[in-house]
Amino acid sequence: MTLVLDDRQQAARSWFESLRDNICAAFEAIEREAGSDASFEYTPWERNDHDGSPGGGGVRGVMKGKIFEKVGVNVSTVGGSFNPEFAKTIHGAAEDPNFFATGISLVAHMANPHVPAVHMNTRYLVTTKSWFGGGADLNPPIPYEEDTADFHARLRAACAPYGPDVYERYRKWAEDYFWIPHRNVHRGVGGIFYDHLENTSDALFQQNFALTRDVGEAFLDVFPKLVRRRMNQPFTAEEKQAQLRWRGLYVEFNLVYDRGTTFGLKTGGNVDAILMSLPPEVAWD
């Protein structure tokens, strides 16, 4: 089914798809530098609404290479109506279950344990309300203060035009969100996270959309630099094993607490695309 989109929805969808293209090209360029011919494989998918009617779809993109052990970059544009029970949990959907959602979601698990794993997601949703959400967070098995500082500095710069306290509020939001209560640890070294940036006027839509674009551009700017900084660094078998154990925390968070995972599964999304965030190898010991 081809969804009929209004101007805002089409603009958001086009941006997320263009960001996908640019990120995938940047990651493939890194693989070429490493002497690898790995490239993304794209799998389109369509979804049915909870009542069986068609409701949009997306494209799952996955690359398994020399530097990127497994990276998924997904885009989706879906619409329809939520299951009545699930609608009660979604901003603005309790009184009317109809919805629209478009966005990009990315998770990269790296071959070298010195290279940080990373997550980035930005999205635009419409129920009886309209809002943007998303963010990016760094997940190094072996943290380096320099990498953490550079990642946060670039996100701080992206947030700066939108107010003096925006970065700190979103940094704290990420700190609270990417927390694993049953382990009493954070998933990584943080980043930013925001949600329910409501578009109650055209001016607010333009502002929130601009912030979301700037977050995507910031990620595209900083993460490849961190990869190139660490990707040729030697590592030991013990460091690789530590990475596999650390990935267990990532799996636990995504399957137990992550809102995006829940949203995708509850709205009939493509299971392989939703779970592309899971690493190819992991260890619990």
Q: Give the active site residues.
A: 119
Which amino acid would we find at residue 242?
A
What's the burial of 195, exposed, middle or buried (CB within 10 Å: 0-12/13-18/19+)?
A: middle
- How far apart are the C-alpha atoms of 9 and 199, rounded to whole Å? 12
Alpha helices for 34-98 (secondary structure H)? 84-87
Count, residues in the chain: 285
Non-local CB neighbours of 155 within 8 Å, separated by 6+ positions:
136, 167, 170, 171, 191, 192, 215, 218, 222
Non-local CB neighbours of 24 within 8 Å, separated by 6+ positions:
40, 61, 63, 73
Non-local CB neighbours of 50 within 8 Å, separated by 6+ positions:
80, 81, 82, 83, 267, 268
**Sheet hosting strand 68-81, strand order edge to edge:** 41-48, 54-63, 68-81, 98-110, 117-126, 130-139, 190-198
- How far apart are the C-alpha atoms of 159 and 13, rounded to whole Å? 22
- How far apart are the C-alpha atoms of 141 and 267, rounded to whole Å? 32
The pairing of beta strand 54-63 with beta strand 185-186: unpaired
234, containing H or E segment: none
- How far apart are the C-alpha atoms of 84 and 265, rounded to whole Å? 15
